[in-house]
């Protein structure tokens, strides 16, 4: 195979650029949705392996990041299915063992994460894309494969739900991050728009 194979060089340059540009964003996306560090790393790996394999399908910037988010969304869905089973096992173990060390934030953050966790999955993903990934409604619609209107409605409902949840009396203290991840894990991917 000649070293100056232009198609290979073009391919790798493109992937290198994609990787440099978006590694952090994809990693942040994974961290926001997957608690276990190793699993988040696996999500990132899966996303970029897919990108490398299907590079001709990756659109040009700025749509390339949305394409990566779309892949990440599906990869995360697979992780959640396994996480749900794993969580049941962990719950049984925790019944007889000391609680595992957990990630805790301050009280306000915990309450917000708890409230986000209790949103419907489609609304949760929509508001996460808009607020955390800082996508426009149109961009989020592209990632989710739905209409811009649908995103707007989901975000609106999510915000209303969050306001209502945060206005309620403070619940008993618990690790909101765990609640958030548990709720995410429990969500049937079937209801994710």
Partner 1 sequence: MDLDNLLSEADPARHTEIDDADSHRATALYRRIVGTPPSRGGGGVPTKAPRRGAAHLRMRSRGQTVQMLPRLSVTAAVAVAVVVAAAFGLVAFAGGSRAPHNTLADGVAKPSAPARSSASPRPSPTRSQPASLNQAGPVLDALAAVAAGRPPTSLVPGPGQYLYVLDIELKGAPPGGGTSMPCGSVIRQEWLASDGSGRQVGYSPGCGGNENRFAQSWKKIGNAIDFNYLAWQGLPTQPAALEAAIVQRFEGGNANNAITFLLATGVLNFTAPPAVRSALFKMLATMPGVHYLGKVTDPLGRTGDTIGLNQYAIHNHYAKHLGNIVVIFDPKTSQVLDETPMPPSRRIHLPKQMPPWLAPFMYIKTGIVNSVKATPPGTSKLLKKIPYRHWV
Residues 8-47 that bind partner 1 (CB under 8 A): 8-16, 19-21, 23-24, 27-28, 31-32, 38-39, 41-42, 44-46
Residue 74 in contact with partner 1, rule: CB under 8 A: yes
CA-CA distance, 27 to 109, in Å (whole number)?
21
Task: Give 7: exposed, middle or buried? Use CB within 10 Å, 0-12, 13-18, 19+.
Answer: exposed
Taking CB under 8 A as the criterion, the residue among 64, 87, 159, 183 binding partner 1 is 159
Subset of 78-97 contacting partner 1 (CB under 8 A): 78-79, 81-82, 84-86
DSSP string of 127-170, one letter each residue: HIIIIIS---HHHHHHHHTS-HHHHHHHHHHHHHHHHHHHHSPP
* Cα radius of gyration rounded to whole Å, the chain: 19
Subset of 164-193 contacting partner 1 (CB under 8 A): 166, 177, 180, 188-193
Instruction: Find the shortest distance in angstroms from Cβ 20 to partner 1.
Output: 5
Subset of 103-132 contacting partner 1 (CB under 8 A): 103, 105, 108-109, 112-113, 116, 122, 127, 131-132
């Amino acid at each position: 195979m000649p070293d100056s194979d232009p198609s290979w060089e073009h391919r790798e340059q493109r992937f290198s650029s994609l990787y440099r540009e978006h590694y952090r964003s994809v990693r942040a996306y994974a961290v926001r949705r997957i608690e276990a560090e190793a699993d988040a790393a696996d999500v990132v790996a899966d996303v970029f392996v897919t990108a490398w394999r299907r590079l001709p399908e990756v659109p040009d910037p700025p749509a390339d990041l949305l394409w990566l988010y779309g892949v990440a969304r599906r990869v995360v869905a697979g992780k959640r299915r396994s996480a749900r089973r794993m969580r049941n096992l962990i719950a049984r173990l925790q019944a007889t063992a000391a609680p595992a060390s957990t990630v805790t934030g301050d009280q306000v953050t915990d309450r917000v994460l708890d409230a986000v966790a209790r949103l419907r999955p489609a609304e949760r993903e929509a508001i996460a894309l808009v607020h955390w990934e800082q996508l426009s409604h149109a961009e989020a619609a592209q990632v989710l494969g739905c209409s811009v209107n649908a995103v707007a409605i989901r975000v609106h409902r999510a915000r209303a739900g969050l306001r209502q949840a945060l206005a309620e009396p403070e619940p008993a203290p618990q690790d909101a991050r765990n609640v958030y991840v548990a709720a995410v894990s429990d969500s049937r991917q079937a209801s994710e728009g």
